[in-house]
Chains A and B, each alone.
Chain A
Amino acid sequence: MTDLLVAARVRKEFGGLIAVNDVDFTIPQGEIISLIGPNGAGKTTFFNMLTGVYKPTSGVITFDGTDVTGKPPHAITHLGIGRTFQNIRLFQHMTALENVLVGMHGRLRGGIMGSILGLPRVRKEERAAHERARELLEFSGLRRRDRSLARNLPYGDQRRLEVARALATQPKLLLLDEPTAGMNPQETADFTSFVSRLKAEEGLTILMIEHDMKVVMGISDRVTVLDYGEKIAEGSPQEVQRDERVVEAYLGKGATGG
């Protein structure tokens, strides 16, 4: 199995605070990896370094054979990392379809003169993009939602739309930041099977930050645990569940002794 993403001794300091402390991390091609840990463990900071929002203080991130350390977000997206956000960051006043079309930005070529003159090449590309966007919405379970404004969608659908928008960037690796946060059990179950489908049908590699252990244990191939910016455990869901340091991090020191 080849590794799609390799992070070597990645570190991020915010002033005196070490948010991520020399973490080594690999994501094998075609697997679902979960990143878990208590609040403030550095999970989202780590995510933001992978996607170029933050520049690591030190360390190297290699994606698909390319060094992406400190590249701007759009360049990393272009190489094939798509993401969602912890607090949904849709373009609220654009329609669902437009949101997905924005996701395709980097994959379309229509230039300024072409758009102004309405060249056949650009028109054709736009038509194809609209079609593809509708397909993506349908695939994400948002049929007939294409003309709704993003902010008017129900919560679960907004999460799905974020994934659809990320899929529009044609990622090889999809990063989901707490995708089921705030969902009810039914929505969570639906979403979990949706993520499994992404792996099975689209062949996507997925890295997910998740707090719902049922989801994590249900679909992850491997789990990595962060605590205070350090990696404290890594392995299959079962291994991690039994790991003493993990239990300690979540429940406190006394929990393992007794």
Chain B
Amino acid sequence: MNARLAALAPRAGGWLLPLAVIAAGVLYPWYVDTIRQLPVVGVYLPALGSMVVMLVFTMMAVGLNVVVGYAGLLDLGYVAFYAAGAYTAAWFASQQFDQWTFHFGSTGINPELPGIHLSLWLVLIIAGTFTAVTGILIGLPTLRLRGDYLAIVTLGFGEIIPQFVRNGDNVFGFDLTHGTFGISPIDSPGFGQTLNDALGLPVNYQQSFDRARLFYITALILLLITVFCCVRLRDSRLGRAWIAIREDETAAGAMGIPLMRTKTWSYAIGAFFGGVAGAFYASFKSGAFPADFYFNISVFLLCMVILGGMGSVWGAVVGGMVLGYLNVEGLAKIGSELNEAGIRFEPTKYQFGIYGAIIVLMMLFRPTGLISERRHKEEMQHGVADTPLYDVTAEGSDTDRNPRND
């Protein structure tokens, strides 16, 4: 079915199908209750709350796709960016730092409440920026490495950051992360009384009767912004440079592309969206806990990108929604249906085994992903010509011995 969908996309002007999907997505809260009544399939449709989680993880997958798909840098530590975003939200919109009391644009809480409480919209931007800076800091020492070496080091950073937040309750006597307890509650987004009076925008999401619907629409808008930015970037000068680096790093350097800077940008941009998604998610579930940031999240996000088709934005969206659904609701639903039918099998217990099986099957039957990008398809079939003329750095070093080209 997806093959046909993918084939349909270019024929319909490339826009009709995405527009239809977006329209269906925007209207989902208004018909979800009706279609969940449908016989047989109805029970499998995700509730709004689950949809928010799916959208947030999809947003991270789209961000990861910039690093892995566009620039071809295998990042096994993306969870670090998720964590950085979530904790930024926790720092700037909770009672964590109750030694200070600072409010700016916060909604739905007592203005006397201790702690730093900024407007969550501002927090999202701060989280994205802070995470992008984290990405640059992680990228600078690591992006000189190629391929497998880079993957190993990013894996390391993906482990270090969760360890750091787990143990960050006493940084020289300062409680930065509240250790294993995590930080909770975190403020929720809202527009405040003034904007509510003027434009009818909700005062505060958490206190609204429409809580799920509001979070859902906001998550969808964030995802659409992410997709828009990633599509624009792919077709830009920077996007061409990323593809060139993915195809042949040596030639890209010789064509005037600053390798380090360009790779670092892909890292920073991927990190930015991961940070925004992380902050939004932390606000949605009103907490940031170290147990959320295990290595398996990185792998899970990578699976989304691979399932959807590396380098393809829409692929990452589809992959993210499919795996996100299975993770949040699908497997549990299937399990309970099986139980009712008298079969004692709980798919949630084997979830990573199931994702693994999905990836293996994909690699066997459709290695380029559900919505494969034309170029990646070719690369899969023919391989890339990226044999390094030099091993590690553009600056050259003792490792650059490769006289065979003479």
- Where the two chains meet, the residues of A that have a C-beta atom closer than 8 Å to any C-beta of B are 14-15, 17, 19, 39-45, 48, 51-55, 70, 72-75, 77-78, 83, 85-86, 89-94, 98, 101-103, 105-108, 110, 112, 115-116, 118, 122, 126, 149, 151, 165-166, 168-169
Contact = CB atoms under 8 A, between A and B. Distances in A.
A226 to B, nearest CB: 10
5 contacts: A91-B243, A93-B375, A102-B255, A106-B257, A112-B265
Given A91-B247, A92-B378, 20 more contacts: A14-B402, A45-B405, A52-B396, A55-B395, A55-B400, A72-B259, A73-B250, A73-B394, A89-B248, A92-B384, A94-B247, A98-B243, A102-B252, A103-B255, A110-B236, A110-B237, A115-B233, A116-B228, A116-B229, A169-B255
A126 B395 CA distance: 31
B46 interface: no
B148 interface: no
Candidate in B235, B240, B253, B396 with the most chain A CB atoms within 10 angstroms: B396
B382 interface: yes
Determine chain B's interface SS by DSSP, over half rule: helix
Given A94-B243, A115-B237, A72 B395 contact: yes
Contact of B406 (A39, A107, A165): A39
Contact of A105 (B241, B247, B384): B241
Interface of B: 228-229, 232-233, 235-241, 243-244, 247-248, 250-259, 265, 269, 375, 378-379, 382, 384-385, 389-390, 394-397, 400-403, 405-406
A53 B254 contact: yes
A40 B406 contact: yes
Contacts of B250: 53, 73, 89
Given A77-B254, A102-B241, A94 B385 contact: no
Contacts of B237: 101, 105, 108, 110, 115, 126
Contacts of B382: 92-93, 151
A138 B229 CA distance: 33
A132 to B, nearest CB: 13
Contacts of A51: 254
A115 B265 CA distance: 14
Contacts of B396: 52-55, 70
Contact of A149 (B251, B257, B378): B378
A152 to B, nearest CB: 10
Nearest to A71: B395
A73 B248 CA distance: 14
Contacts of A115: 232-233, 235-239
Contacts of B395: 55, 70, 72
Contacts of B257: 74, 102, 105-106
Q: What are the 7 A-B residue pairs with the smallest beta carbon separation, nearest first?
A: A106-B256, A55-B396, A115-B236, A77-B256, A73-B253, A14-B401, A89-B251
B406 A45 contact: yes
A241 to B, nearest CB: 23
A75 to B, nearest CB: 8
Contacts, number: 154
A75 B378 CA distance: 31
A129 to B, nearest CB: 8
A251 to B, nearest CB: 20
Nearest to A78: B256
Nearest to A14: B401
A105 B256 contact: yes
Contacts of A85: 251, 254
B389 A53 contact: yes
Nearest to B394: A72
A112 B255 contact: no
A93 B379 contact: yes
Contacts of B403: 14, 17, 19, 40, 45
B385 A89 contact: yes
A43 B406 CA distance: 6
A74 B259 contact: yes
Instruction: Indicate the member of A41, A72, A86, A102 with the most B CB atoms within 10 Å.
Output: A102
A126 B250 CA distance: 24
A51 B397 CA distance: 15
Contacts of B269: 112
B382 to A, nearest CB: 7
A98 B240 CA distance: 8
Nearest to B247: A91
B238 A74 contact: no
Determine which residue in A45, A70, A77, A116 has the highest number of CB atoms from chain B within 10 A of its CB, and name it.
A116
Nearest to A52: B394
Contact of B251 (A42, A75, A90, A168): A90
A77 B256 CA distance: 5
Q: Looking at B240, B250, B269, which has the most chain A CB atoms within 10 Å of its CB?
A: B240
Contacts of B378: 92-93, 149, 151
A172 to B, nearest CB: 13
A98 B378 CA distance: 16
Contacts of A77: 253-256
A168 B382 CA distance: 27
B247 A74 contact: no
